Chains A and B, each alone.
Chain A
């Protein structure tokens, strides 16, 4: 081999090595990458892009990524071809297996030896997790604001109680003084219930499962607590004792709290029903076993129902600020207790006609969980 040929051979090997290195980088980078021509046809793409999008030979990027038939109105690639600059935007794309990805997309020019733009590279950075955290943070902010508002209302009740008590004391009016102390007492109870509910929602409390817990007895106990008060508001509160769930292994304190919160929510809903045609409201509590043996607790009311625009936010904007019975975190408690039992909460509602909340408590899952804890 001549020295020139050997040098040529060595250069070729170096070139091949360099190409392999770049190819490996291109494939291994944890971003979706594709290279496009002026017609937006995909010339090259990496492994991640191939895995998540439906790339066929000669496909255009909008077909592969967005299942569109025409180019996107704001095409970053076209802009990069036009002005030679890097552009970026945020996009939400659906992968071939149905996952939704939030992505930051950058388009960058690739130039040939004459410095002309021969292709444009698109790099997609996955920010789905960041977006999820942002969303959760925003929800937490709203929850904290709601809680602060609720606490401020309770404080105003306390302040009012002290004011009324003092007014009574100054005027030697025992009745007014007693009224003030009643207000203080009521608001202290409210804040105690709020703290108890918040503790239920935190991880500080471990559920205490017991054998042979009779759910219908819990329904009757909760019903007895509220019957007198609901009667004053012409709300009939009853337990349907037909086909009740068989006794099982549940956390009785948790379930009592769960039922109490569903009932107080239903009472508030009925109390604030703007429909003057309903002479009397009715709340029915029942528990039964579903076809798989799981216990299902239902609280059904014929109140105003949940407005369509609120339905999607029921488990999100959980912190209500109005209502005389609930603490404002009721549904969060309900969800927490249900999850502790390996169950779930659902509801059906019809505006103007009422709402039914259903809590499924599968005993098997609870038992497993219990054994796990005992170990």
Chain B
């Protein structure tokens, strides 16, 4: 069984890119365009890892992160934060209010090979 990755990003190009990248690397992939749909999909899809954008419409990455980390069925899922803003990195690095920190924080734009290495390291392959 291939490991499962859920891509949550509001930018369609980013979703398409990461989905193709992960599929080519042998993962099963699904994606969602905002935090609201992403959290719902995390419950039904049961991913091993979620890549989570921060600034998104409907439900931001910060809110989605809290929900994923606190819900019983998703709190064990590895989360890789993808962000373009240093301030958001600070938030996920320091201001989590007792929540488990993300497994990795990656700054956009990504370096494809290094990003894939990070994901492989987190997911355990």
Contact = CB atoms under 8 A, between A and B. Distances in A.
State yes or no: do A and B come from one complex.
Answer: yes
Interface of A: 149, 152-153, 155-157, 159-161, 163-164, 167, 176, 179-180, 183, 186-187, 233, 271-274, 276, 321-322, 324
B16 A179 contact: yes
Interface in B10-37: 10-11, 13-14, 16-17, 20-21, 23-24
Given A163-B20, A322-B84, A186 B60 contact: no
B122 interface: no
A320 to B, nearest CB: 11
B109 interface: yes
Contacts of A176: 20
A109 to B, nearest CB: 49
A160 B13 contact: yes
Nearest to B15: A160
B84 A149 contact: yes
Interface string B35-62: 0000000000000000000011111100
Nearest to A152: B109
B58 A187 contact: no
26 contacts: A153-B84, A153-B108, A153-B109, A156-B17, A156-B108, A156-B110, A160-B13, A160-B20, A161-B13, A163-B21, A164-B16, A164-B20, A176-B20, A180-B20, A183-B13, A183-B16, A183-B17, A186-B13, A187-B13, A233-B57, A272-B57, A274-B63, A276-B58, A321-B85, A322-B84, A322-B85
Interface size class of B (residues with CB under 8 A): 20 to 34
B66 interface: no
B110 to A, nearest CB: 7
Nearest to B54: A322
Interface string B83-115: 011000000000000000000000011101000
Contacts of B58: 276
Given A157-B17, A160-B20, A186-B13, 16 more contacts: A153-B84, A153-B109, A155-B109, A156-B108, A157-B14, A163-B112, A164-B16, A164-B17, A179-B16, A272-B57, A274-B59, A276-B59, A321-B84, A321-B85, A322-B84, A324-B11
A322 B54 CA distance: 11
Contacts of A157: 13-14, 17
Contacts of B23: 167
B interface: dominant SS:
loop
A274 B55 CA distance: 10
Contact of B112 (A159, A273, A274): A159
A322 B13 contact: no
A146 to B, nearest CB: 11
B14 A160 contact: yes
Among all A-B residue pairs, the 10 with the closest Cβ atoms: A160-B17, A156-B109, A164-B20, A152-B109, A157-B13, A167-B20, A271-B57, A183-B13, A322-B55, A272-B57
A276 B36 CA distance: 10
Contacts of B59: 274, 276
B30 to A, nearest CB: 16
Best-surrounded residue of A152, A156, A180, A183 (most CB of chain B within 10 A): A156
A321 B110 CA distance: 15
A271 to B, nearest CB: 5
Contacts of B11: 324
Interface string B54-87: 0111111001000000000000000000001100
Nearest to A167: B20
Best-surrounded residue of B20, B57, B60, B63 (most CB of chain A within 10 A): B20
